[in-house]
C-alpha cells in the first residue's frame, strides 16, 4: 500500500548482502565503501487512434559496490543477490581501484555527511500504478483517444503512459542505511490535424507534465483531463489557420508549461558543478557559469530566485536520501539575480571546499556508478505576484507562449532558442489570436536579465521530463522544474519556416 515499502523488495537479502560487501571492502583496505541494491519496475503503453501499438514491461534488479581505495574510486556491480556474490563484487571493485590508482591524478575525498541509520522514505502518491489492471489503463486511454477523434478536424490521436516504481537500499561503512521507494508517471496525449490539400499538419499535446505521482494523476488528481480534452480541438483548429509570425523583438509572457524547459537547459545544466569544472566536456559540454564567477555572475534580473530542491512534493528528482547517503535538501542557486550556488555530490563538494554535499548524486540503475545529477531546479514565484492575466495586461505588443516543443542550446549553456506548442498574439494587454512558426532566441544572461516580472504562487506549475541524459556511459534521470508565469521584455523572435529556408 502507498506509504510503505513494497514487501517483495524488503524480502530480498538486503542487509546480509550489504554486510558481506562492506566487510570485504574494509578488509581489503578501502577507506570508504557503499552498497546499493536496486529494483526498477517500468511499463510503457502506447496507442495510435485508440488502438494498442506497443506495450513494454520491464524489471531490473541488481546491486553495486563503490569503494574509495587509496584515493581512487572503484566500482563493480552484480545481479546474483547473495552474500557470496556481494563479497566477490566488492573484491572486484577494490581491484579496479588498485588498477586505476596508477593513472589517477586527483585523489578522491568525500565531503562528510551525518550518519542516517535505518532511514525509510516513500514518495507522495495515492495509487501504485502497478496495482491497476492493464484493462483499466487501456480503457482510459482508448476513451480519451475516441473523444478527441470524434471532434471535427482531428485526424489522428497518439496516447500513452509510462510508469516507474523504483526501490533502493543503500548502506555504507559509516553506518548509514536507507530504504526508499518512489513512483512516477508520464501521460502522453497528442492530437494531429492534417490539411490534405497542402500536406501541412499541426499537433497539439497535453500540457500535463510527467510527475512524481501515482495512477491518481491519470484520473484527475492534479490535472483536469476533461477540460483539456474539450479545449484541444478548437485550439488545434485555430493553430491550423493561424498566421505565421513576423520576426522581430517582442515582449513575452511565458507560461510555466514552456518555461520549465528553458530553466532546465539554461540554469539546471549550467549550475551542475561537475559540468562547470569541465567534467562533461567530452559529452555534453561545460558551462559559462564557471566556479570563479560564484557570488559575482549577474545571471538575471534582481527578481530572479532559483532553487535546487530534492524535497519538492511530486518532483521527479525528489528523494529522501541520494545515492551517496546524503539527506536531500533545498538550496539556492541564483538569488537576487546573482549566481550563489551549485548542485553538488560528495566528491565535488569536498574538492571545492564546500562543507557538505547538497544531495545530487544519482545512478539510474545498479549497473551504473552514481554521478552528479540535477535536482528539481525551480524559479520561485513572487509572494504577492500577479496572475498570468495581469502579466498579459502589462504587454502592448507581444506573445504568450504555452507548452514545450523543440529546443537548441550550445555546449556552454549560453546561446539558445526554444519553440513551443501554442502561441497567442498580445495586443493592448489582450490575447487576440494564435500565431505559428514561433521561436525565441537569446543568450542565457540576456534572457534572464530581461525578466521584468514573475507571477504569484497561483501561477506556479511543476513541469519536467523522464529523460535527462548525462554521463559516459550515458545515464537517464527524471527531473522536475517548477516556475510561475513570467514577463520578459524585448526578446528576439524568429520565424521557424523562414529560418528553415522554406
Alpha helices by DSSP H, listed for 457-500, are 496-499
Dist CA 307 CA 313 (whole Å):
14
Locate 311 and state its grid cell.
524535497
pLDDT for 56-111, tens place per residue? 999 999 999 999 999 999 999 999 999 999 999 999 999 999 999 999 999 999 99
pLDDT band of 283, cuts 50, 70, 90: confident
Task: For 292-313, write each residue's pLDDT tens digit.
Answer: 999 999 999 999 999 999 999 9
Average pLDDT over residues 134-150: 98
Name the residue among 243, 258, 265 with its Cα closest to residue 495.
243
Q: How far apart are CA 169 and CA 378, in angstroms?
A: 28
Domain ranges of the chain: 7-241, 248-499
Three cell numbers written together for 15: 542487509
Of the CA atoms within 13 Å of residue 152, those in its CB half-sphere come to 3
Cβ atoms < 10 Å from Cβ of 396: 9
Instruction: Check the CA dihedral 134-139-140-141 and report its sign.
Output: positive
**Cβ count near 55 (within 10 Å):** 14
Predicted pLDDT of residue 372: 96
Which of 398, 405, 499, 409 is closest to 450 using CA atoms? Answer: 398
User: Of how many residues is the chain composed?
Assistant: 502
* Residue 18: partners with Cβ closer than 8 Å, 6 or more residues away: 35, 37, 86, 169, 171, 177
Q: What is the mean pLDDT of residues 121-133?
A: 98
pLDDT tops 70 at residue 42: yes
Q: 306 near 339, Cβ under 8 Å?
A: no
Q: Is the pLDDT of residue 459 over 50?
A: yes
pLDDT band at 502 (very low <50, low <70, confident <90, very high): low
Mapped to the 3 state alphabet, what secondary structure does 344-361 carry?
A: CCHHHHHHCCCCCCCCCE
CA–CA–CA angle 246, 250, 254 (5° rounding) = 110
Residues 1, 436: Cα–Cα separation, whole Å? 46
Q: Which three cell numbers stand for residue 222?
A: 492534479
Q: Give dist(CA 460, CA 387) in Å, integer.
A: 10
**d(Cα 134, Cα 427) in Å, to the nearest integer?**
48
| Residue 319 pLDDT | 98
Query: Looking at the predicted structure, is the pLDDT value of residue 501 above 80?
Result: no
pLDDT value of position 2: 60
pLDDT-derived band at 350, boundaries 50, 70, 90:
very high
Query: Is residue 123 over pLDDT 70?
Result: yes
pLDDT of residue 281: 87
Query: At residue 329, does pLDDT exceed 70?
Result: yes
pLDDT exceeds cutoff 60 at 1: no
What's the pLDDT band for 129 if we cut at 50, 70, 90? very high
Lowest mean pLDDT: which of 279-293, 317-331, 337-351, 371-385?
279-293
The per-residue pLDDT for range 407-432, each reduced to its tens digit, is: 999 999 999 999 999 999 999 999 99
CA angle (247, 252, 255) in 5-degree steps: 125
Average pLDDT over every residue of 164-182: 98
Protein fold of 7-241: PmbA/TldD fold (3.30.2290)
Give the percent of the chain with pLDDT over 70. Answer: 99
| pTM (predicted TM-score) | 0.97
CB contact at 8 A, 6 and 37: no
CA 301 vs. chain centroid, Å, equals: 24
Task: Tell me what the mean pLDDT of segment 344-362 comes to.
Answer: 98
Residue 362 CA to residue 475 CA, distance in Å, equals: 9
CB 15 within 8 A of CB 81: no
Residue 277 is predicted with a pLDDT of 96
Amino acid at each position: 500500500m502507498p506509504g510503505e515499502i513494497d514487501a517483495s523488495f524488503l524480502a530480498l537479502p538486503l542487509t546480509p548482502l550489504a554486510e558481506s560487501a562492506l566487510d570485504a571492502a574494509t578488509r581489503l583496505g578501502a577507506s570508504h565503501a557503499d552498497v546499493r541494491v536496486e529494483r526498477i519496475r517500468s511499463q510503457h503503453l502506447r496507442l495510435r487512434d485508440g488502438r494498442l501499438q506497443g506495450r513494454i514491461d520491464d524489471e531490473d534488479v541488481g546491486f553495486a559496490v563503490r569503494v574509495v581505495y587509496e584515493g581512487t574510486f572503484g566500482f563493480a556491480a552484480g545481479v546474483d543477490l547473495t552474500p557470496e556474490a556481494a563479497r566477490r563484487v566488492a573484491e572486484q571493485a577494490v581491484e579496479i581501484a588498485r588498477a586505476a590508482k596508477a593513472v589517477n591524478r586527483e585523489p578522491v575525498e568525500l565531503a562528510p555527511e551525518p550518519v542516517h541509520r535505518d532511514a525509510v522514505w516513500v514518495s507522495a502518491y495515492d495509487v501504485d500504478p502497478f496495482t491497476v489492471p492493464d484493462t483499466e489503463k487501456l480503457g482510459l486511454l482508448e476513451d480519451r483517444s475516441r473523444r478527441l477523434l470524434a471532434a471535427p478536424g482531428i485526424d489522428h490521436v497518439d496516447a500513452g503512459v509510462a510508469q516507474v516504481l523504483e526501490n533502493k537500499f543503500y548502506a555504507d561503512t559509516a553506518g548509514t542505511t536507507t530504504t526508499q521507494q518512489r513512483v512516477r508517471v508520464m501521460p502522453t496525449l497528442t492530437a494531429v490535424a492534417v490539411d490534405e490539400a497542402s500536406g501541412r499538419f499541426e499537433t497539439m499535446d497535453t500540457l500535463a507534465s510527467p510527475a512524481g505521482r501515482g495512477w491518481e494523476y491519470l484520473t484527475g488528481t492534479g490535472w483536469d483531463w476533461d477540460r483539456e480534452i474539450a479545449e484541444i480541438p478548437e485550439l488545434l483548429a485555430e493553430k491550423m489557420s493561424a498566421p505565421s509570425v513576423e520576426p522581430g523583438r517582442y515582449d513575452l509572457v511565458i507560461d510555466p508549461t514552456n518555461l520549465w524547459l528553458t530553466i532546465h537547459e539554461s540554469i539546471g545544466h549550467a549550475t551542475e558543478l561537475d559540468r562547470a569544472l569541465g567534467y562533461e566536456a567530452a559529452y555534453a559540454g561545460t558551462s559559462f557559469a564557471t566556479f570563479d564567477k560564484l557570488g559575482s555572475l549577474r545571471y538575471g534580473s534582481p527578481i530572479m530566485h532559483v532553487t535546487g530542491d530534492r524535497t519538492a512534493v511530486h518532483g521527479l528528482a525528489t528523494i529522501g536520501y541520494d545515492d551517496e547517503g546524503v539527506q536531500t535538501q533545498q538550496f539556492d542557486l541564483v538569488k537576487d539575480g546573482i549566481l550563489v550556488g551549485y548542485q553538488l555530490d560528495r566528491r565535488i563538494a569536498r574538492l571545492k571546499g564546500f562543507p557538505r554535499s547538497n544531495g545530487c548524486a544519482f545512478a539510474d540503475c545498479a549497473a551504473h556508478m552514481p554521478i552528479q545529477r540535477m535536482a528539481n531546479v525551480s524559479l520561485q514565484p513572487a509572494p504577492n505576484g500577479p496572475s498570468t492575466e495581469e502579466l498579459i495586461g502589462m504587454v502592448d505588443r507581444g506573445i504568450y507562449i504555452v507548452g514545450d516543443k523543440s529546443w537548441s542550446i550550445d555546449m556552454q549553456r549560453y546561446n539558445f532558442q526554444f519553440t513551443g506548442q501554442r502561441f497567442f498574439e498580445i495586443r493592448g494587454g489582450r490575447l487576440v489570436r494564435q500565431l505559428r512558426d514561433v521561436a525565441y532566441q537569446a543568450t542565457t544572461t540576456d534572457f534572464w536579465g530581461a525578466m521584468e516580472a514573475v507571477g504569484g504562487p497561483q501561477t506556479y506549475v511543476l513541469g519536467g521530463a523522464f529523460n535527462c541524459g548525462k554521463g559516459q556511459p550515458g545515464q537517464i534521470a527524471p527531473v522536475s522544474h517548477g516556475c510561475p508565469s513570467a514577463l520578459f521584455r524585448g526578446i528576439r523572435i524568429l520565424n521557424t519556416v523562414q529560418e528553415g529556408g522554406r
